[in-house]
Structure 1
Amino acid sequence: MFNRRNFCQAAAVASGTLAMATSNLSRAGEAIVKVGQPLIEVARLDWVCNAVAQTADGRLFVGLPRWPGYENTPSIAEVLADGTLKPFPGGEWNRWAPGKPHGQALVNINTVHIFDDHTLWAVDMGEDAGPKGINPGQRILQFDTRDGKLLRSISLPESVLPAGGNLNDLRLDSEHAYLTDSGLGALVIINLRTGVSLRRLADHPSTKMNPERRPIGEHGRPLQTSDGSDTQVQSDPLEISPDGKWLYFQPMSGPLWRVPTDALRDTQMTDKALGDKVEFVYDTGPTTGTAIDSAGNLYFGENDKPRVTVLAPDGSLRVLVQDPLLWNPDALMITRQRELYIPVPQSARLAYNRGPNGKSTVDMPFKIYKVQLPAYLGTREDVPTVAGQSLVGAQS
């Protein structure tokens, strides 16, 4: 069981706002009306970029996954002032290729984050072992951005990340890491003090992609594998509320759910009891990237529309920015300067997401944009201090 409760009590307002915004979108071949904040181009890249992270002093890092057709990438890099990329942390870390060892190498980085200090966290999905295999090299990494030193490497036991599991996104509070498993559908919680990890809601519908909700991309075309089946992306983006009390999450194709973080961390609570605490939040569409700010506004990078929308705590939904340059925006990031960074990997245009004999329709180069947040929206959300002081800079 789970609770179907709207985000506050404003679903009708949100639905109306969404309908007006959708009316500005085109059918295939028609012009798209630009709406909202103006886009500012930040960087151009020769590789797919699906994640960005920025230090307090303004250094910008990018996550460059080794997706099919773009395997020859340094995986993580710093964007320098002149627009060039400097591999991070450098050396053999950035030179992995099939057949090489995984120990001191970045294999397939799926996300990068810098939270409230100088360290960079990365989720490495490892080598793809297929839907029934265990990915070699799959782990969570923490680096010091000042010297590239590895501070932490976390590998999960098969009981927490079984065969077919794929770590996707990551968030922190003061003592825990929270991740989604987009391969099988589940939430993973790691106690950063003790190293104890938990697999949660693995059998709950909130972490599963509903086959009736297809992973729609540009102009209504579903993402499909080479055999013509829909691309399966289970639990994908996630966010922690500013007070640290709620974890928001969803399968790529929606909808959005939330669950109390204290219940997730409770090792004595059964998954059945935990499932009863899951709440329906909003009927989102296909979403690849999210962010949350200090006021509790949730930002959604929509996969089937070239835009970013904002769901306010009162349940109202509005379009922050809509532009034909934003097809398939991914992991969003809010800076201390109240700017929202938007990487655009064009995932629905990649050949391997376009079904049998799929051909790429990518518009090169790949780009990262940013928009200035309006004054009515909150500031950047820091890592919530739920229990004690933040541990993100600690070495284990």
Structure 2
Amino acid sequence: MLDRRNFCKAAVLASGAAALASSHLAHAAALIQAGPPLIEVASLDWLCNALALTSGGRLFVGLPRWPGFEKTPSIAEVLADGTLKPFPGGEWNRWQPGKSGAKALVKINTIHIFDDDTLWAIDQGEDAGPHGINPHQKILQFDTRDGTLLRSISLPPSVLPAGANLNDLRLDSDHAYLTDSGLGAIIIVNLKTGVALRRLADHPSTKMNPERRPLGEHAQPLMMPDGSDHQVHSDPLEISPDGAWLYYQALTGPLWKVPTAALRDTQMTEKALAEQVEFVYDTGALTGTAIDSAGNLYLGEYDKPRVTVLSPDGSLRVAVQDQRLWNPDAMIISNQRELYIPVPQSARMASNRGPNGVNGLQLPFKIYKIRLPTSFGGRETVPAVVGKSLASASS
């Protein structure tokens, strides 16, 4: 097992793919083959790559408008009978090309519900191509009780330049942390002042190394329709339970961490910030992550149907492995100590299989959960950023 304390970060940055060619995740399958049984939570006609739970157990799903799924409502609540109720409702869920996206869900990439029971979403807006600025790319927060918009945050070109794509977000009590997977960077938004920062935009840790190809099921590469490899820069991210560290990586790894205080420090230069970045683990391609209250990182692997767990001591084990888990995406942990796993099968999409790509999707799309063993942590606490929790506020 890799001794992270003695690993030379400079060697990783200098030698690139040669030093990182072998993934330690490849050895994890020998430890545990199956894990706990999968429990089916929902069966959907729409592709789902993210989900969120209120404290009362209401389940919301993120339904991105990816190729072939342009008519999805983008966000919906899964009702008790399994049907979907568009959220927040009305024109928000009925966007079409040519319509304004200012108050509409254009291209939702992720959703989250934190401790105050509000729903946060990343809307990547209309695709303007690798050299354009996406119209109506924004960060949204909704009241889950009635769908009221609480805030909509648009970032200036200095923070979100041409070619940038917001990917995922996490919160602490005062800030939102986001990844830019289009160009590669970490973005921090002060939720009290509105000040936004773009950090590590020139650092190798936020860039996908082209020599580390994204290989999925049966070694099928993740390719654009023109035959080039799909470049996904800084993508999944997590915050440590004490709020001190931000973990992140490009699609194909490796995993890095940086102090959140350093990211927020407007007086710290990019050169000084780069010195704060630490190598964590030589992960392979990851489609989604989660973290628990004990600091265990849950890694949804791209090239294997499983979720592995990287513990703070550097040990790695398989949480669950099953042929139904190809490309598990943005996972969450419930208050009942259950790991929820959406399975969008993104690598099977024709649009991700290069020229003349063949659709390999197996419908319907599933959401599963597993019960976590007592040796793992529970749901990570995220302090409310709008004051009192909606769960305890008067209606």
TM-score after normalising by structure 2? 0.92
2:130 corresponding residue in structure 1: 131
Q: Does 1:21 align with 2:20?
A: no
Amino acid at match of 1:231: H
Matched residue SS, 1:235:
coil
- In structure 1, distance between residues paired with 2:328 and 2:217: 11
Q: CA deviation at 1:217?
A: 1.1
4+ long deviations beyond 3 Å: 5-10, 15-24, 389-395
Is the CA contact 2:35–2:318 (under 8 Å) kept in the aligned structure 1? Answer: yes
2:75 corresponding residue in structure 1: 76
2:200 corresponding residue in structure 1: 201
1:323-342 correspondence to structure 2 within 5 Å: 323-342=322-341
CA RMSD, 1 decimal: 2.0
Amino acid at match of 2:43: R
- In structure 2, distance between residues paired with 1:7 and 1:378: 22
Is the CA contact 2:25–2:284 (under 8 Å) kept in the aligned structure 1? Answer: no
- In structure 2, distance between residues paired with 1:69 and 1:90: 22
Is the CA contact 1:128–1:135 (under 8 Å) kept in the aligned structure 2? Answer: yes
1:220-299 correspondence to structure 2 within 5 Å: 220-299=219-298
1:27 corresponding residue in structure 2: none
Matched residue SS, 1:300:
strand
Is the CA contact 2:23–2:282 (under 8 Å) kept in the aligned structure 1? Answer: no
- In structure 1, distance between residues paired with 2:131 and 2:38: 41
Unaligned runs of 5+ in 2: 8-21, 391-395
Is the CA contact 1:174–1:392 (under 8 Å) kept in the aligned structure 2? Answer: no
- In structure 2, distance between residues paired with 1:299 and 1:9: 23
Is the CA contact 1:17–1:318 (under 8 Å) kept in the aligned structure 2? Answer: no
Instruction: String of CA shifts for 1:257-296, please: whole Å, max 9, x gaps.
Output: 0000000000011111101110000000000100101000
Q: Does 1:183 align with 2:185?
A: no
Q: CA deviation at 1:7?
A: 4.3
> Sequence identity of aligned pairs in percent?
73
- In structure 1, distance between residues paired with 2:55 and 2:100: 33
1:157 corresponding residue in structure 2: 156
With 49-58 and 214-223 compared, the bigger mean Cα shift is at 214-223
2:191 corresponding residue in structure 1: 192
Matched residue SS, 1:110:
strand
What is the aligned length? Answer: 376
1:30 corresponding residue in structure 2: none
| Structure 1 residues 134 and 79, CA gap change in structure 2 (3 angstroms) | same
Matched residue SS, 1:21:
helix
| Structure 1 residues 154 and 394, CA gap change in structure 2 (3 angstroms) | farther
Instruction: String of CA shifts for 1:68-115, please: whole Å, max 9, x gaps.
Output: 111110000000011000000001000001001112210000000001
2:93 corresponding residue in structure 1: 94
Unaligned runs of 5+ in 1: 25-32
Q: CA deviation at 1:37?
A: 1.3
Matched residue SS, 1:294:
coil
Amino acid at match of 1:146: R
- In structure 2, distance between residues paired with 1:338 and 1:317: 20
Q: CA deviation at 1:359?
A: 1.4
| Structure 1 residues 76 and 225, CA gap change in structure 2 (3 angstroms) | same
TM-score after normalising by structure 1? 0.91
Instruction: String of CA shifts for 1:196-226, please: whole Å, max 9, x gaps.
Output: 0000000000000001111111121110011
1:171 corresponding residue in structure 2: 170
